[in-house]
Amino acid sequence: MTARRGQVRVVEAVLAVFMVVAVVLLLMQFTKPLRSVYIRETSDLRRLGYNFLNSMAENNVYEKVLGNLIYEASKRFSSIGRCPEGWEENRLNDLAFFASTVLPQGLLFRVDVYTVQYDLAGGRAVLCPLGYAANFDVGKVSMTEAEPITYTYVCTGDPDRVRGSVLLVHLTIGYSG
């Protein structure tokens, strides 16, 4: 009788060990460390993005590349009191070419540019889209590791007619696949 009890204890111990090991292994599957790739790449992308937008601002690139559009949007807003329609779908090819030339290869980017117009009668600020620049088909390709950056800029360089215009730039920069 005593010997049989001993055997049962051994079997119990084996089962207990199996259960403990199984639970530990199961938990280990669920508690994998966060994908550090995700953390590291986006942190650098954020710095690169600000660095890129700031570098364009320092060299008055916004005025040179978007000067005519900024002027046209401001003129229309002044005359009709609202933003030109459908401009959010404008492809800013000049800006896209510029960004492709400057940014490192292998990165995807999308830059949405707005002018900030002031409706003095209504006492409000209105964002008028000028369009977007991208180096990929935004309808088909999606970014997996990306960082959004918002940047505000007051035009200070030539052409003179856009001096003082306020721009809001949304940059999304990341990797595909």
Partner 1 sequence: METVLEYLAVALLLVVIILAAHQMLSAPAATLDTVRQEQLYTVAERVLDKIVLTPGFPEDWGTNIAVTADNLQDFGLALAGSREPYRVDPDKVMRLANLSTLPNPLLLNASRLAQLLGLEGYGYRLRIVPMLRVIITPIGYYTYGNYRYASTFRVRVENIQGLGVPNANVTGMYVIVRVRPGAGDATVEAKNVSTARALTDALGECVLDFTPSLQQYFSSPRNRPNKWYFTFLIVHVEWRGFASVAGYATNAYGNAPAEGYIIGNYVFVNRAVDPISIKKGNKRSGAVLVKDELLQAVPEYQELLNFTSVVWCRDSTGNFRDDDPLCNNAGKVLPSAKQWYLIGYIRYVEPLASHVFVFAQFRGNPIAIVVNRIPSIDISSERGAVPANAVRLTRMCTVYNYPFLVELTVWREVEGFP
Tell me the window of 10-18, 77-85, 121-129, 139-147 that interacts with partner 1 (CB under 8 A).
10-18
Nearer residue to partner 1 within complex by CB, 23 or 138 = 23
72 binding partner 1? (CB under 8 A): no
Instruction: Determine the length of the chain.
Output: 177
150 binding partner 1? (CB under 8 A): no
64 binding partner 1? (CB under 8 A): yes
* CA 167/CA 95 separation, integer angstroms: 14
61 binding partner 1? (CB under 8 A): yes
Measured from the CB of residue 34, what is the shortest distance to partner 1 in angstroms?
9
Q: 29: which 2 tokens?
A: 């599957």
How many chain residues touch partner 1 (CB under 8 A)?
Answer: 45
Q: Residue 112 phi/psi, 5° resolution?
A: -105, 130
Measured from the CB of residue 55, what is the shortest distance to partner 1 in angstroms?
4
Nearer residue to partner 1 within complex by CB, 100 or 126 = 100
**Interface positions, 99-118, toward partner 1 (CB under 8 A):** 101-102, 104-105
Three-state SS sequence of 61-116: HHHHHHHHHHHHHHHHHHHHCCCCCCHHHCECHHHHHHHHHHCCCCCEEEEEEEEE
Residue 140, SS3?
A: coil
Residues 63, 157 contacting (CB under 8 angstroms): yes
Compute and round to an integer the Cα radius of gyration of the chain.
28
User: In the complex, which residues of this chain contact partner 1 (CB under 8 A)?
Assistant: 3-4, 6-7, 10-11, 13-14, 17-18, 21, 24-25, 28, 32-33, 35-37, 39-41, 43-44, 47-48, 51-52, 54-56, 58-61, 63-65, 94, 98, 101-102, 104-105, 157
